[in-house]
């Protein structure tokens, strides 16, 4: 493995989603190259919205994927998840490894859990992520996930400033998930390793190394104030040194807790990891304009 376990499989390829919005043919071609590249171990599933399965079917009929296409399928409601998985896996050489389930407004935790259990009974090998809402339902949703095989998904950004939780909110969410023993992934706004102000939008964006360091600290018993401070850290060297100091057991525990992040760019995370020495310098960066 050329990519260390700290970041192995960290980047789920969400090239189709904002702000990247890559056309499907380009996104599929890029993903195929990622799978054969020296940085392949960094890349996880190809994240795909269930509402575009007809488009995927047409694209694969015209241009077959060069290998097995492993999807992380996003669905708007758990009640449609099993049907969406079946449709996806009916396509040639397509497999679904994970489903990311949204929780519609008004859906309570009890109804959600019943739907998850129904899905799991039909698809026992599937990784199931539930996007935890940013409202008063969050504690109840996390509670029903605790002690189950289901995982959580945190939204850490978007195309408007309001989509970004501040440090305190995100720290509280991480603290809750770690205390309840619920593994999770994060998505949106995590293109770069370190917290920064986006020069194009002015949005305050979280860094994925900040999130990794925060999870490790939460697993070590740090309080929410300390966790928020780690999310606010803007010195990548501080974060890299902190994470590099973790022993293999701590790294394993960290990645069991924080599974992956969804990013519309693989090039930007790779560039940052190379700059901070967290992946070997023998791995070349992705040439500008060639791949997402």
Whose structure tokens read 């370190």? 194
* Domain boundaries along the sequence of the chain: 11-275
- Cβ-based neighbour number of residue 223 at 10 Å: 12
Tell me the pTM.
0.95
Per-residue pLDDT tens digits of the chain, which is 292 residues long: 589 999 999 999 999 999 999 999 999 999 999 999 999 999 999 999 999 999 999 999 999 999 999 999 999 999 999 999 999 999 999 999 999 999 999 898 999 999 999 999 999 999 999 999 999 999 999 999 999 999 999 999 998 989 999 999 999 999 999 999 999 999 998 989 999 999 989 999 999 999 999 999 999 999 999 999 999 999 999 999 999 999 999 999 999 999 999 999 999 999 999 999 999 999 999 986 555 5
Where does 11-275 sit in CATH, by number? Answer: 3.20.20.70
Q: Tell me how far apart the terminal alpha carbons of the chain are, to the nearest angstrom.
A: 22
Answer yes or no: are the C-beta atoms of 174 and 195 closer than 8 Å: no
Q: What is the C-alpha separation between 127 and 13, in angstroms, rounded?
A: 16
């Amino acid at each position: 493995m050329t990519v260390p376990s700290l970041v192995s499989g960290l980047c789920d390829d969400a090239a189709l989603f904002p702000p990247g919005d890559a056309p499907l043919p380009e996104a599929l071609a890029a993903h195929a190259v990622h799978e054969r590249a020296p940085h392949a171990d960094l890349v996880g599933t190809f994240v795909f919205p269930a509402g575009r399965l007809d488009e995927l079917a047409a694209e694969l009929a015209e241009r077959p994927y060069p290998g097995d296409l492993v999807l992380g399928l996003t669905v708007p409601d758990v009640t449609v998840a099993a049907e969406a998985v079946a449709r996806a896996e009916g396509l040639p050489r397509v497999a679904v490894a994970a489903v990311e389930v949204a929780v519609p407004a008004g859906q309570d935790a009890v109804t959600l859990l019943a739907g998850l259990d129904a899905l799991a009974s039909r698809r026992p090998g599937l990784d199931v992520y539930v996007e935890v809402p940013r409202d008063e339902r969050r504690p109840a949703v996390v509670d029903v996930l605790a002690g189950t095989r289901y995982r959580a998904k945190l939204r850490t950004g978007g195309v408007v400033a309001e989509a970004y939780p501040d440090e305190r909110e995100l720290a509280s969410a991480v603290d809750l998930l770690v205390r309840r023993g619920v593994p999770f992934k994060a998505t949106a706004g995590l293109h770069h390793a370190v917290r920064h102000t986006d020069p194009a939008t002015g949005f305050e964006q979280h860094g994925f190394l900040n999130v990794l360091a925060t999870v490790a600290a939460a697993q070590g018993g740090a309080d929410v104030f300390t966790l928020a401070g780690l999310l606010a850290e803007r010195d990548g060297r501080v974060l890299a040194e902190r994470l590099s100091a973790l022993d293999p057991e701590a790294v394993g525990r960290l990645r069991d807790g924080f599974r992956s992040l969804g990013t519309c760019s693989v090039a930007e995370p790779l560039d940052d990891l190379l700059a901070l020495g967290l992946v070997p310098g023998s791995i070349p960066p992705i040439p500008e304009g060639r791949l997402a």
